[in-house]
């Protein structure tokens, strides 16, 4: 009887100690961050994390308006710095990765070795990119197309995704024939192990760097689990996962 009482007290105590965390993250992070989350929860089994993925620009607006997100991961470091300047992010913005763009398609005629030539091929009727007005990957995709003198020519064929995940999905469901998406999404197991794994890595000199950053929000400032996840993301284990999905951070980057 005594042991049962003690056990019951421990269960109650454990539940009281359980933490909850809500994270907003850029869509390119979905597979990498879901993996990191799973590893984090192995050492925090009583805690729970809710992941919300979307365009960095829309997430920035939501954080600025007091959305209940404890951490904000953006594909555009400038967004994190702007929020920090206005007090909506309470930790100094930290660069976590440099993202890369790829040209990708599920069309049988796609030839990764031909690079940008795929975008103007006869079989292409729709080209998907993320919306440049609020999605950093879309902004950089447009810059790359402008650099290659293709944007004006392709504009009538371009379809815009709300975020980079939706853009990739347009290609998957063949609402677009080809598109420019995040390297991290084509390295996801569902694509990397399929017959459509081939992609063309865009030269990053064709666009401004996809500098990505994160921080703890004002809402999450008093949540100890937010600090724990913030710190865990910087561990070698988490960084190995990021590299697995095509992200890199130059030595000494700020």
User: pLDDT tens digits, residue range 171-191?
Assistant: 999 999 999 999 999 999 888
User: pLDDT tens digits, residue range 92-125?
Assistant: 999 999 999 999 999 999 999 999 999 999 999 9
Max Cα distance, the chain (Å): 79
Task: Report in angstroms the alpha-carbon separations of 35 from 98, 104, 107, 171, 189.
Answer: 19, 23, 29, 24, 12
The answer to whether residue 5 scores a pLDDT higher than 80 is no
pLDDT of the residue at 159 = 98
**What beta strand segments (E) does 100-237 contain?**
101-104, 127-130, 158-161, 178-182, 200-201, 210-216
Long-range contacts, 58-61 (Cβ 8 Å, 24+): 58/134, 58/162, 58/163, 59/24, 59/25, 59/26
> Mean pLDDT of all residues in the chain?
91
The answer to whether residue 50 scores a pLDDT higher than 50 is yes
Confidence at 13, pLDDT banded by 50, 70, 90: very low
Q: What's the whole-number mean pLDDT along residues 44-50?
A: 96
Name the pTM for this structure: 0.86
Neighbouring residues of 223: CB distance < 8 A, sequence distance ≥ 6 = 19, 21, 70
Q: What residue ranges do the domains of the chain occupy?
A: 2-98+210-244, 101-201
The domain 101-201: what is its CATH number? Answer: 3.40.190.10
**Parallel, antiparallel, or unpaired for β 178-182 and 200-201?**
unpaired
Measure the CA–CA gap between 140 and 184, rounded to whole angstroms: 15
Q: What's the whole-number mean pLDDT along residues 153-161?
A: 98
| Matching fold, domains 2-98+210-244 and 101-201 | yes
How many residues does the structure list for the chain?
254
Is the CATH code 3.40.190.10 the one for domain 2-98+210-244? yes
């Amino acid at each position: 009887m005594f042991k049962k009482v003690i056990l019951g007290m421990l269960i109650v105590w454990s539940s009281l100690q359980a933490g909850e965390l809500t994270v907003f993250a850029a869509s390119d992070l979905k597979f990498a961050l879901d993996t990191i989350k799973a590893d984090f929860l192995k050492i925090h089994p009583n805690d729970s994390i809710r992941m919300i993925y979307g365009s960095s620009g829309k997430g920035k607006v939501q954080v600025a308006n007091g959305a209940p997100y404890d951490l904000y991961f953006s594909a555009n470091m400038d967004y994190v710095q702007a929020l920090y300047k206005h007090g909506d992010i309470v930790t100094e913005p930290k660069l976590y990765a440099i993202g890369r763009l790829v040209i990708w398609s599920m069309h049988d005629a796609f030839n990764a070795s031909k690079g940008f030539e795929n975008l103007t091929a006869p079989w292409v009727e729709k080209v998907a990119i993320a919306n440049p007005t609020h999605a950093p990957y879309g902004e950089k995709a447009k810059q790359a197309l402008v650099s290659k003198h293709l944007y004006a020519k392709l504009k009538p064929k371009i379809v815009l995704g709300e975020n980079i995940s939706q853009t990739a999905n347009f290609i998957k469901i063949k609402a677009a024939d080809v598109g420019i998406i995040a390297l991290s999404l084509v390295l996801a197991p569902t694509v990397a192990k399929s017959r459509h794994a081939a992609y063309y890595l865009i030269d990053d000199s064709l666009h401004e760097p996809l500098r990505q950053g994160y921080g703890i929000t004002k809402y999450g400032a008093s949540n100890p689990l937010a600090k724990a996840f913030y710190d865990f993301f910087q561990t070698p284990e988490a960084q190995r996962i990021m590299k697995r999905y095509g992200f890199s951070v130059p030595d000494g980057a700020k």
